Structure 1
Amino acid sequence: MAGKKILNIEIGEKLVKVCETLPKNQISQVLNSFMFQTPENTVNDGMITDCEVLAQKLQEELRIHSITNKNVVFSLVSGKVATRDVIIPPVKDSRIKSLVEINATEYFPVEMSQYTITYTLLERISKGADAGCRLLVMAVPNNILNGYFKLAEYAKLQVKSIDYSGNAEYRALKEMGHKEVTMFVNVDCSYCGVAVIRDGSLLMQRNFAVGGDQLIVTHMNSMKKADDEYLQALDELMVIGDKKPEISLSTEEIHESLSRLVGNVVRIVDYFNSSNWETPIEKIVLVGACGNLIGLKELIAESFDIPVENAEGITGFNIQQEAKEPITCYVSCIGSGIQPVDLIPEKYNKSKKKDKATDIDEVKRGTIICVVFVVASIAMVGYSAFGYLNAKNKKQELEKKIEELAYVEKVYITYSDYQTHVDGLNELKSIASSPNSELVSFIEELEKEMPSEITVLSAACTVIGVNMNVEVNTKEAAAKVISQLRSFKSLKDVKVSGISEMDNDLGINRVSFSVSCEYGENPYVAAEPKQ
């Protein structure tokens, strides 16, 4: 998309973000950027429910900011978008789409006619057991996409592309140049997008429907603000540099309003680290419209022993004019213009229709060529008959040689049986010498000593110990579990991190934490006296 100005628009339940960008090969220019409050009852989880009202508000804001560009790329934000991280065999780019379409029903057990399927190529893996093309495959309901084209029609805009917000976030953040494993958290009002990236490679991506809205609403209620002052309330809660906003909320009220958001971040970090204990997350970077909310960075930092920081910019983008909000508020908006996925349904895509017409012409030309080849084939039949007789004689000679060498097959079968027994003995030897024998002692103590109310959410066993995510009813129960673990004779060291307390979906208070246990003789437990 380099060389032409693009209007990037992200439509959320609370905010609509608009950027006008000029993509270039090295540094893209952000010519204009602004956001406005989404009209009430016009958007619900990515579904545009009142296109006419939203289009009127969008046209009004474009006029206020002197934007006449009609070429738009939408960034779609919705929890109804299904995604799968898959690996297909190593093929050319031109063949990836057909493979995705063939396997779509395996990726998503839905009625395919009601969805648009697309993908983005994350990386090519050239070595190892997983060699092939790593893709992020997406399935988006057509009724959501139809709303964007209806909105564009009302607003007199031309849809050039519709990108998935998760892909837009990754494309905007992958060039940030972090060599360490970094978790980017795009904090919006009603959702958060999480991308774990190392050296430009996407390791994991998650979304959850919690953002900064609860703190904003709490502040609005304390100040008795009207519903249409939502954006003003957000501005009053933003930390600009070292200057913190002066608000009437107490520290406890701020922490309570952010607890669900922080709790979800803690869970994702614990999940990633337990599955990737050799390469855990080393840094957390906050971006998005609510990334600079008061108290958010400090509250997340309290849960981890790693740096937590706010991004100061986005690599590859320059702002041409002074904007009210930092460029990091528009990550998934400006990212939609870098390498958008193909989320335009066939009935709206003129290029696809042209391709179909071209295919018909190609069939006609192919038919003429086939006729010519048939005529030529008849002329070659006589020559082929002579070649057939010659080949038949050679075949008989080869069959005779095969009979003479039949004993070789018996030798090969004998060798294969011997090799199978050798492989089995080697495997048995490796199992017998496994250093994980200490795991048995640990499990026996765990079954004997742990209270019945403990819930082990996940556990990752290594040659040196066990990493577990644990959940109990109360903090007292958590203290009891930790104390019991530190009394195990089979563990020489126990480390605890990420303790958080919050209500689950049923309203029941739960306390969760992560614990890392290392095998070995407990130096604090006296050895039993010999009989």
Structure 2
Amino acid sequence: MSFISLLKNNVISIDIGSFETKVVIGCKKKDQLIIDKAFSFKTPDSAYMNGYIKYNNVLVNKVTNEFVMNNVKSGICYLSIKSTDIITREITIPVIEKKDIDGLLKYQLAEYLPMDYSKYVIQHRIINKFIEEGKEKLNISVIAAPADMVDMHYNFVRDIGLRPVVLDYQPNCIWKLFCFSNGINGKIKIEDKTIAAIDLGHDSTNVTIIKEGIMKINRVIDMEDIKISSKTKELTIEKSSESEDIGNLCDKFSFYNGNINNIRTSLESILNRIDRMFKFFLSNDIGCGIDYIILYGGLSKINEIDKLFFDYFGIPTMILNRIEKLNTLVDINKYINCLGLLIRNDGV
């Protein structure tokens, strides 16, 4: 049996979702992403929820079997995570040396993040530098992930026989990929636009707003109380090359289970929550508008969902289907987190 060679500095990039797990094997070389292989499979029921591994042995067995079927052996692993329990904040501090930022944050974080720091892994990223009242200051993005969540992902990677190297927050993956690319869908230049990238996942929706290449805000919207049936989720996975019309989905939905809520009601609930987030962003960035909405993720496969978003928000909306600087045709929409994981900029 021949296995994929990892001698070319290839990385095994994994995006575990509550409904589907995606894997990309490749690397970033100079100004291009080189992809050797990409595959996906259904995540075992209830094994992974809201960023937590609930049944490690079940998930390990499933992933290990899929690796054997796809001729993947050992190597370096990058893993992405997303959870409503991950806390993010943007804070402002005076300009200081990079090596001194961690120390300063320890004293200032209590003002922004009232929590038990011993239970979180905290990291930061410099967003930009600006001048306020004649003094230079830094905008810092801080992310705090539950320590037990980080530990369980580290142990999981070791259990599947890989070497854990990177655990990255999904909005960070999206931001890096969009900045790395020359354009989105062949026409949107991120450096002079404000875009809202929306991951319409099966169990959560993630909104990342990027203004002129700078990630301004990201939030994970919990969809626990928004019921979308497993049959609808399966339909969005089955239709990898063609989309399903909302009306047809509803017909099939009713055929399989007449008591399930209409999918239009679920989508409307999602739109309402996204609208509140947009209003929060715009209220804190006076004079700014959102130029484009970019949709991706499982539910973005529903045909004309971009039209639904445009009708609701009045903002040009499109489904993500293309980025530049990629060496092969791969489903960008599906593997976006895995691709963004491959890009490491100054260790972030």
Which TM-score applies when normalising by structure 1? 0.56
Tell me, yes or no, if structure 1 residue 209 matches structure 2 residue 222.
yes
Q: Given the alignment, which residue of 257, 260, 266 partners 2:266?
A: 257
Letter in 2 for 1:272: F
- 1:429 is matched with none
Whole-angstrom distance in 2 between the partners of 1:277 and 1:187: 27
Alignment match of 2:115 (pick from 105, 110, 117): 110
Which one of the candidate residues 38, 52, 55 is aligned to 2:57? Answer: 52
Q: What's 1:339 paired with?
A: 344
Residue 298 of structure 2 is aligned to residue 289 of structure 1: yes
- Which string of whole-angstrom CA distances, capped at 9 and with x for unpartnered residues, describes residues 275-315 of structure 1? 43411112211122332323421211111322111122234
Counterparts of 1:118-267 in structure 2, within 5 Å, are: 118-125=123-130, 131-175=136-180, 176=183, 177-178=189-190, 179-210=192-223, 214-215=227-228, 217=230, 219-220=231-232, 231=234, 233-236=235-238, 240=242, 247=248, 249-250=250-251, 253-267=262-276
Judged with a 3 Å threshold, the aligned counterparts in structure 2 of structure 1 residues 260 and 237 are, in CA distance, closer, same or farther, namely farther
- Counterpart of 1:92 in structure 2 is 97
Counterpart amino acid of residue 100 in structure 2: R
Runs of at least 4 residues of structure 1 off by over 6 A? 340-343
Pair 1:82–1:247, CA change in 2 (3 A): same
Paired AA for residue 311 in structure 2: E
Q: Output one character per residue of 1:75-99: Cα deviation in whole Å (capped at 9) or x when no partner.
A: 1111111111112221233332333
Q: Distance in 1 between matches of 2:247 and 2:289?
A: 37
Secondary structure at 2:281's aligned position in 1? Answer: helix
Structure 1 residue identity aligned to 2:142: V
- State the identity as a percent: 19
Distance 1:277 1:84, change over 3 A: closer
C-alpha distance in structure 2 between counterparts of 1:50 and 1:239, whole Å: 31
Q: Is the 8 A contact 1:236 1:245 kept in 2?
A: no
Letter in 1 for 2:57: E
Residue type matched to 1:114 in 2? K
Aligned to 2:309: 300
1:244: how far off?
Answer: 5.2
Counterpart-to-counterpart distance in 1, 2:306 and 2:294: 9
Q: Given the alignment of the two structures, is residue 24 of structure 1 paired with residue 33 of structure 2, yes or no?
A: no
Contact 2:76 2:162 in 1 (8 A): yes
1:37-72 alpha-carbon deviations (Å, 9 max, x no partner):
111232222111221111111111112222224210
Partner-residue secondary structure (3-state), 2:15:
strand
- Amino acid across the alignment from 2:119: Q
What is the one-letter code of the residue matched to 2:30? N
Q: Gaps (5+ residues) in structure 1?
A: 221-229, 344-531
Displacement of 1:262 = 1.9
Bigger Rg, structure 1 or 2? 1
| Letter paired with 1:290 | L
Secondary structure of the structure 2 residue equivalent to 1:265: helix
Pairing 1:125-524 to 2, within 5 Å after superposition: 125=130, 131-175=136-180, 176=183, 177-178=189-190, 179-210=192-223, 214-215=227-228, 217=230, 219-220=231-232, 231=234, 233-236=235-238, 240=242, 247=248, 249-250=250-251, 253-319=262-328, 323=330, 326-339=331-344
* Cα distance in structure 1, aligned partners of 2:152 and 2:159: 11
The letter of the residue matching 1:258 is: L
Shift of 1:26: 0.7
Task: Pick one of 62, 68, 81 that aligns with 2:86.
Answer: 81
The offset of 1:341, in angstroms, is 9.4
Which residue is equivalent to 1:516?
none
More helix by share: 1
Report if aligned partners of 1:196, 1:203 keep a CA contact under 8 Å in 2: yes
Aligned residues: 324
CA RMSD of aligned residues (A): 2.9
Inter-CA distance 113–270: structure 2 relative to 1 (3 Å threshold)? closer
Map of 2:186 onto structure 1? none
